Structure 1
Amino acid sequence: MAPKLQAGDFKNRARFEARAVGDDGYGNPVSGDWEEKFKVWVALRPGGLSEAVVAARLEGTQVLNVYVRASTQTRQITSEWRMIVADHGVDREYAINAQPDGLTMPGFIYFQAKSGVAA
């Protein structure tokens, strides 16, 4: 069951970025640098931690359950984007795991974001 959200839950400011699409000079699209699309207030809920052994090193990741208010901007978010959350002056980067879901709760969009992985 989806949690009940209140105005006080949206206390983190997040920046959403997508890769710019450029041209390689031969008419082929290539992905460029990250460019900011918009900033919105988000509600973040812990989604758990996981550890994986990659190249003989233990790497930890943090999963967040993210809720944003549904709008024309937030409906554009895809799994190819990334989310940057400024927390006490430190920018934390999160990859968006899957296509955001706007059907779970009317008026809100839900998705999971993961830190420690390539965005």
Structure 2
Amino acid sequence: MGDAVRLVEAVAFDALAGVPDGSGGKEQDWVEQFATRAHFRYLRGSEAVIAARLQGKQPVVVTVRANSSTRAITPEWQMRDTRRGTAYNIRTAVPSDDRLFIELTCESGVAV
């Protein structure tokens, strides 16, 4: 990757948290943790990717700059494309080979 100019997408990361429901209880809801810039690489071609796309799912590898916030991302979180409003399940979060970026394997079109 190595090229910050390519981080052109706007994304936000959400975690489930207990939110007051107005009647003394709490319900689980997504709460934004932080927003950052990202690069999207849509997966195409393999048999598994084609099968996922036929089911209405879109696998994507999302690259974000590594910092204390992005290192905290887990598969229990969700990512949102803040421009398009699309929510993505996070499947994996691994550092790039140079450890300057975090590469997230995500999937849209699935129940979160």
TM-score by length of 2: 0.79
Structure 2 stretches lacking a partner, 5+ long: 20-25
Distance in 2 (CA, whole Å) between partners of 1:18 and 1:50 is 29
Distance in 2 (CA, whole Å) between partners of 1:97 and 1:104 is 19
Structure 1 stretches lacking a partner, 5+ long: 23-29, 53-57
Structure holding more helix per residue: 2
TM-score by length of 1: 0.75
Distance in 1 (CA, whole Å) between partners of 2:95 and 2:9 is 20
Aligned pairs for 1:35-50 (under 5 A) are 35-48=31-44, 49-50=49-50
Structure holding more strand per residue: 1
Distance in 2 (CA, whole Å) between partners of 1:19 and 1:50 is 30
Task: Please tell me the root mean square deviation across aligned C-alpha atoms, in Å.
Answer: 2.0
| Identity score, percent | 32
Question: How many residues matched?
Answer: 101
Aligned pairs for 1:1-119 (under 5 A) are 4-21=1-18, 32-48=28-44, 49-51=49-51, 59-87=55-83, 90-98=84-92, 100-119=93-112
